[in-house]
């Protein structure tokens, strides 16, 4: 190999044919396009799909990542494009690393984000190690996020299309993982371009709809899943105001989330009330006026820092943070307590901030992701 060999599109100084890339294939259009594009460019592509769970009914359910029909769709794309494809049974790993924590944190009154834990503990950990075992030079996924090279190495940046950006769900990607990962779709201006590429490659999944729900929570019915995983979890209790006055009853704390207004069954009041806290031990749903949902100070732990300098307890940082995937980043001051813990002060209060959600850090003057952590306490 010549020393002046130009870098290929994945950043390696060798021909695509000499570059092995494992593509994490969910069976959806995004990862299928990534695999097809890299295969067409001449890379040594190996498709891998993780079977993460089986509802029984999942075999007939589309849009449920990593089960049933989606595994079949991933295999068919590999056959169409002529590269090998493997299905790995990660059902037990997924249950232990993602589903059990989801159930326990939900029962503890938190609002978990299992998609982040799946990326962190399964896809970018176990699957990434499998890719290395297969002697792959890198692993590619269909996530809408960008990996760019900076002065200090690989950096994580938001996707070009803000509507598709998945940075909130990938903040816990470590620098070591980022060295090995590639995100070929992050620069595309919209999902329309992805579907156009699927049409170009003649993929059978070109018109497949996007998945909407958490993969193991069909139709968004969290409570039904929790009851199945933790029998007896839906124990009845009282709906009380902030002074402890009983306003009504409920059939299980798991049916409520912080910020909820509808479906409380306590109508006839002068001012609308919202769920402001869940007390699992007392089996109470605590309600109050909307202004009680406003939060300015947020405790954050398990911080993954992606900045160039150390996350030092002596350095305050003016950055942007996002506390929900659907909300834009807001100005904030981060005050580190340790390398993995901090207090985040929002310059403008946010409503409905709940333990269990992620607080993701962004650069104030670029679309770079600086990491983030998990919101805890009440």
Tens digit of each residue's pLDDT (9 = 90 or more) over 244-294: 999 999 988 888 888 888 888 887 677 889 998 888 889 999 999 999 999
Question: Is 270 or 184 the better-scoring residue by pLDDT?
Answer: 184
Q: What is the mean pLDDT of the chain?
A: 90
Catalytic (active-site) positions = 118, 215
**Residue (of 191, 170, 156) closest to 117 by Cα position:** 170
pLDDT value of residue 270? 74
pLDDT higher than threshold 50 for residue 123: yes
pLDDT value of residue 187? 97
Q: Which residues of 320-356 are buried (b: 16+ CB within 10 A; e: fewer)?
A: bbbbbbeeebbebebebeeeebbebebeeebbbbbbb
Tens of pLDDT, residue by residue over 199-235, are 999 998 988 888 766 788 877 788 888 888 888 778 8
Angstrom distance (rounded) from CA 255 to CA 224: 9
pLDDT higher than threshold 70 for residue 32: yes
pLDDT value of residue 66? 53
Question: Can you read off the two tokens belonging to residue 210?
Answer: 């996007």
Please provide the DSSP assignment of 297-330 as one string.
EEEEEEEEE-SSS---TT--EEEEEESSTTS--E
Residue with tokens 């940075």: 167
pLDDT higher than threshold 80 for residue 103: yes
Tens of pLDDT, residue by residue over 145-154, are 999 999 999 9
Q: Which domains does the chain have, with CATH numbers?
A: 18-219 (3.40.50.620), 234-288 (2.30.30.280), 294-375 (2.40.30.10)
Q: What is the mean pLDDT of residues 53-67?
A: 51
CB 370 within 8 A of CB 361: yes
pLDDT value of residue 65? 55
Angstrom distance (rounded) from CA 36 to CA 137: 18
pLDDT value of residue 331? 97
């Amino acid at each position: 190999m010549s020393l002046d060999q130009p870098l290929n599109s994945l950043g390696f100084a060798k021909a695509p044919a000499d570059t092995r890339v494992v593509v994490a294939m969910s069976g959806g259009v995004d990862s299928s396009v990534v695999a097809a594009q890299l295969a067409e460019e001449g890379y040594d592509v190996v498709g891998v799909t993780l079977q993460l769970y089986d509802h029984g009914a999942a075999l007939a359910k589309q849009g449920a990542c990593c089960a049933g029909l989606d595994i079949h769709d991933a295999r068919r794309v590999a056959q169409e494009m002529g590269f090998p494809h493997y299905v790995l049974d990660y059902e037990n790993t997924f249950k232990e690393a993602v589903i059990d924590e989801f159930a326990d944190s939900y029962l503890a009154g938190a609002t978990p984000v299992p998609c982040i834990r799946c990326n962190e503990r399964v896809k970018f950990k176990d699957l990434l190690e499998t890719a290395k075992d297969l002697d792959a030079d890198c692993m590619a996924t269909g996530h809408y996020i960008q990996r760019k090279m900076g002065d200090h190495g690989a950096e994580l940046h938001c996707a070009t299309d803000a509507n598709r950006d998945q940075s909130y769900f990938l903040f816990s990607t470590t620098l070591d993982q980022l060295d090995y990962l590639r995100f070929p779709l992050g620069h595309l201006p919209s999902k329309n371009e992805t579907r156009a590429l699927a049409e170009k490659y003649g993929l059978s999944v070109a018109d497949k709809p996007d998945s909407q729900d958490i993969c193991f929570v069909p139709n968004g019915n969290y409570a039904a899943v929790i009851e199945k995983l933790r029998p007896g979890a839906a124990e009845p209790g009282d709906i009380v105001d902030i002074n402890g006055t009983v306003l009504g009853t409920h059939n299980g704390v798991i049916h409520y989330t912080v910020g909820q207004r509808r479906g409380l069954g306590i109508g006839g009041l002068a001012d609308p009330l919202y769920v402001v806290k869940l007390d699992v031990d007392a089996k109470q749903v605590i309600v109050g006026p909307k202004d009680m949902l406003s939060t300015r100070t947020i405790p954050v732990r398990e911080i993954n820092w992606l900045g160039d300098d150390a996350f030092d307890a002596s350095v305050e940082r003016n950055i942007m943070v996002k506390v929900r995937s659907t909300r834009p980043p807001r100005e904030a001051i981060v005050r580190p307590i340790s390398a993995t813990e901090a207090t985040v002060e929002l310059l403008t209060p946010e409503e409905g901030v709940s333990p269990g959600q992620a607080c993701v850090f962004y650069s104030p003057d670029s679309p770079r992701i600086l990491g983030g952590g998990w919101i805890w306490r009440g």
